[in-house]
Structure 1
Amino acid sequence: MRSHCLLPLFFFLVFAGNPAISWSQVEAAPDRQEGEGPFSQLIIRGVTLINGNGAPPRGPYDLVIEDNRIAEIRLVGNPGVPIDSSRRPRLRPGGRELDCEGMYLLPGFVDLHGHIGGEAQGVSAEYVFKLWMAHGVTTIREPACGNG
C-alpha cells in the first residue's frame, strides 16, 4: 500500500521539479517585415470554392475581404465559361486583388491535437506555426505538453 502512494509522489516531484518541463514557454517571434498588407480591401478573384460542408466544389467566385472579414462571396460565372467582368465586385483604391482562376479555396483546417514541440527538438514555435499555416491549418488545440 505504501508503494502505491509513493509512485504518484515520485512522478509529481520529477515533473514539478524539472524547470525545463514546468516553466517552458514559447519563445517570442522576432520582429520581421514580411509579406504585404494589410489592405483596406482584398478581392480573391475566380476561385473554386469548397465550403467544407460536404457539397461539391462550386465556382468561380470572387471573395471580397474588408477589415479582415469576408464581406461578400459573389458567384461570377460557371465552370468552363468565360467570366463576365460586369458581374465582378469593384476594387476600391488602396485595395489588392489576387487572380486565383483555376485554384481552390477551402476553410481553414482545425488540428485538435497538435504539439508545438520545443527547443529540445531544435525547432522554434514560430517555425511550427508558419508550417501549419502553410498547410492550411488555422486553428490549433495544443494539449500543453512541454512547450505549449
Structure 2
Amino acid sequence: MKRFGGLRKLLFIHGLATLAAVVGLTVSPAAIPAVAGIHLDPGSYLMAYLLAGAEFGLSFLSFGGCRLTDARGLRLIAYSCIVFHGTSALLEAYVAYGQRENTVLWINIAVRIVIIALFAFFARPAAKSASES
C-alpha cells in the first residue's frame, strides 16, 4: 500500500485545510465571504454554518481516509473530494462570471482545479505489470 502514501498525505493536508475553513466559518461567519467581497449580514450566517458543516464532514472523511490502506476506499474518498471541489468550482465560476472583476473568486477556482488535479493524480490506478496481465 506504499503506492497510496502520497494520497494519504494529501488527505491529511486536505483534512487540515478543511478543518481550518470550519473554524473560520464558525468563529467569524462573514470573514471568508468578505475576502471575496461578499457581504453576509447576521441573518445570513446560516449559509456559512451550513458550509462549515459540509466542510467538517469533508475534514472528517479526509482524516479517516489518511489511515486507510484499501485502494478502493481511498479512491472513493479521493473521488468524493474531486466531486466536492469540482461542483464548488463550477458554482463559484457561475457567480464569478457575473463579477468579472472578482479576482479572489477566480483564484479560489484555480486553487480548486489544482486540488482536483492532485486528487486525480494520486488516486489514479496503478498500471498493470506484465505479470498481472
TM-score (norm 2): 0.24
Greater helix share, structure number: 2
TM-score (norm 1): 0.23
Greater strand share, structure number: 1
Higher relative contact order (CA 8 A, sep 6+): 2
